[in-house]
Amino acid sequence: MKNTFGNNISLTIFGESHGKSVGCVLDGMPAGIPVDYENIKRLLSLRRPSGAISTARSEEDDFEIHSGVFNGFTTGTPICIIIPNKDTRSSDYENISHLARPSHADYTAHIKYRGYEDPRGGGHFSGRITAALVAAGGIIIPALNKKGIAIGTHIASCAGVNDRGFENYGEDIDSLSSLAFAVLDADKANEMHNGIIKAKESLDSVGGILETAIIGLEAGVGEPWFDTLEGMLSHALFSIPAIKGIEFGAGFDFADMRGSIANDGFYTESGKVYTSTNNSGGINGGISNGMPIVLRCAVRPTPTIAQEQNTIDYVNLENAKLSAKGRHDPCIVHRARIVVDSVCAFVIADALSGKHGTDWLAL
């Protein structure tokens, strides 16, 4: 029952949706990395609910760093971050504690943990736990920025509305950094908002696609087989609740291409190597090639909806009906994008630490 990920830098997450707190332990970070509390707060604010398109549960996310930071810098010892849960309403789950919410982990958690799991709000399987991932990202992302590596994610599509793709990577990533609803074409935001509201009014929910770009990463990062860069990124990203598909570069479109179109031709300029296209998404043979890493994550519609659905009472093994009550998101795509940024940052930092040593991030 492992909740730790990473080889050179490791991240352990803990907590339940309606428990006393959620949090993480970030181990392997070198001493001397600046820790900006205001920046961590800013990133956490991008994950929090926003208005009618999100849940009414409003957590302040007033985090506390209990160890590993002194006088504004990492000490090199494990960093423990605690985020209290203050706005729980566990009574919403009393009457459905034995009902398996469709497409949630209620049933599988009950089988795995033999009935000892905390079912309130999804327990340890809740998206609430992602707050800890973002808090860790608040330390890792600035450390990567100082090394010239930037990460940005936009809502490529949501509620049937498509955003434009990345064009000027550096400018686009900068523009996304402060947006609560991360789209590159500002005109698309209202259309997506309206689609989410319509789904909510129909007691339903919507999903979408998040597109991420990682720029400034040198060539030669990753391994050729089981720890490929795509594999490690995918491994970590699939741990984010609701992500059900990942593709890199042209992804599934490769299936309809010919090699003459799919291949990225190489060229050199001013002593540097580039590719004329980036269908491979910046990775060849599991190893970064120096071009922007581009990936997309498919985010399923929020499974908790107010429409009546067929389910089971998994304790008594009886068929049942369920209409979800309580506070739930009609869409989580806009909240998930900073989680994707944070997870990507962790994987990249871990991979770079494997290549250069853990002190490299602080030098």
How many domains in the chain? 1
Q: Which amino acid is at 246?
A: I
- The 10 Å Cβ neighbour count of residue 315 is 12
Residue 60 makes CB contacts below 8 A (sequence gap 6+) with 86, 87
153 half-sphere exposure, CB direction, 13 A CA radius: 29
Residue 254 makes CB contacts below 8 A (sequence gap 6+) with 262, 279
Q: What is the pTM of this model?
A: 0.95
Spatial distance between the Cα atoms of 66 and 14, rounded to a whole number of angstroms: 14
Alpha helices in 74-150, H assignment, sequence order: 106-113, 130-146
Spatial distance between the Cα atoms of 105 and 82, rounded to a whole number of angstroms: 24
Token digits for 120?
């309130």
What's CA 352's distance to the chain center, in Å? 20
The number of residues in the chain equals 363
Encode the chain (363 residues) as per-residue pLDDT tens digits. 689 999 999 999 999 989 899 999 999 999 999 999 999 999 999 998 877 787 666 678 899 999 999 999 999 999 999 999 986 666 666 677 789 889 989 999 999 999 999 888 888 999 999 999 999 999 999 999 999 999 999 999 999 999 999 999 999 999 999 899 999 999 999 999 999 999 999 999 999 999 999 999 999 999 999 999 999 999 999 999 999 999 999 999 999 999 999 999 999 999 999 999 999 999 999 999 999 999 999 999 998 888 999 999 989 999 999 887 766 789 999 999 999 999 999 999 999 999 999 899 999
Burial of 197 (0-12, 13-18, 19+ CB in 10 A): middle
Residue 179 belongs to what domain range?
Answer: 4-362
Closest CA to 157 of 323, 276, 2, 333: 333
Identify any residues that bridge with 208 across adjacent strands, giving them in sequence order. 158, 299
> Contacts by 21-24 with C-beta closer than 8 Å and gap 24+?
21/82, 21/83, 21/84, 21/85, 22/83, 22/85, 22/128, 22/129, 22/131, 22/132, 23/80, 23/81, 23/82, 23/83, 23/132, 23/135, 24/80, 24/81, 24/132, 24/133, 24/135, 24/136
What phi, psi does 202 have (nearest 5°)?
A: -90, 10
CATH number of residue 304's parent domain: 3.60.150.10
Residue 110 makes CB contacts below 8 A (sequence gap 6+) with 100, 117, 119, 314, 315
Say if residues 341 and 151 touch (Cβ distance below 8 Å). Answer: yes
Closest CA to 237 of 327, 328, 337: 337
In this prediction, residue 56 carries a pLDDT of 60
**DSSP for 352-363, written as a single string:** HHHHH-GGGGG-
